[in-house]
Chain A
Amino acid sequence: NAGVMQNPRHLVRRRGQEARLRCSPMKGHSHVYWYRQLPEEGLKFMVYLQKENIIDESGMPKERFSAEFPKEGPSILRIQQVVRGDSAAYFCASSLNRDSQPQHFGDGTRLSIL
């Protein structure tokens, strides 16, 4: 998965804390997608962003979750007041443009909530 960089690879938080997950897309890509994967399940779409814009956040919980992709810097997925159920692997993908296929994925951030 060369190109899409996610950090940290592992993140441990206590209930009630905030989690910040970062994603740097492949060079030249301005479209970023976040997915969540629970154990033994497939990835589930959360949000699609372009530079400085949220295009589709239909898969993201309305509360506690937010995402951004600023003009400069990585995309950030932010989870406030984390709960045990937020424990999962969060993957970021990027594409050159909206219609580009396929999406290129990073190796994810594994979030564990104590």
Chain B
Amino acid sequence: LAKTTQPISMDSYEGQEVNITCSHNNIATNDYITWYQQFPSQGPRFIIQGYKTKVTNEVASLFIPADRKSSTLSLPRVSLSDTAVYYCLVGPITSGTYKYIFGTGTRLKVLA
């Protein structure tokens, strides 16, 4: 699975848009990009997944440039409850990808 690099931590204020960028320079052609959110004392929760361009769901957007060497998770109008660790994972959605590799993630702190 491709190695990913994320900022260790970020601070934001309530109501702001937060963008967390993940670098994955050696992403393979059949790799997808998946983001998880983890609150203290809870398991990771799936946020969004994409392959290229832009993906949007009810909680976030995922922007992937043409070269796919990075991706940006965008959280619109964050609230205090968005304070969590966010993990970027890269790997193929095919047989053998069950070994999710979590880095240290990005600790997002939302301030009032």
A interface list, Cβ under 8 A from B: 1, 4, 31, 33, 35, 37, 40-45, 48, 56, 58-59, 91, 93, 95, 98-99, 101-108, 110
Chain B proximity of A90: nearest CB distance (Å): 10
Majority secondary structure of chain B interface residues (helix, strand, loop or mixed): loop
**In the complex, are the beta carbons of B43 and A107 less than 8 A apart?**
yes
Question: What chain B residues lie within 8 Å of A99 (beta carbons)?
Answer: 93-95, 97
**In the complex, are the beta carbons of A101 and B43 less than 8 A apart?**
no
**In the complex, are the beta carbons of A33 and B45 less than 8 A apart?**
no
**In the complex, are the beta carbons of B99 and A1 less than 8 A apart?**
no
**In the complex, are the beta carbons of B34 and A101 less than 8 A apart?**
yes
Q: How large is the interface on B (under 10, 10 to 19, 20 to 34, 35 or more residues)?
A: 20 to 34
Known: A37-B102, A44-B102. 5 other contacts (CB 8 A): A43-B44, A48-B98, A58-B99, A95-B98, A108-B42
Query: When chains A and B are docked, how far (Å) is the Cα of A43 from the Cα of B42?
Result: 12
Query: When chains A and B are docked, how far (Å) is the Cα of A56 from the Cα of B97?
Result: 12
Chain B proximity of A55: nearest CB distance (Å): 8
Counting chain B CB atoms within 10 Å of each CB, the highest count among A43, A45, A99, A106 belongs to A43
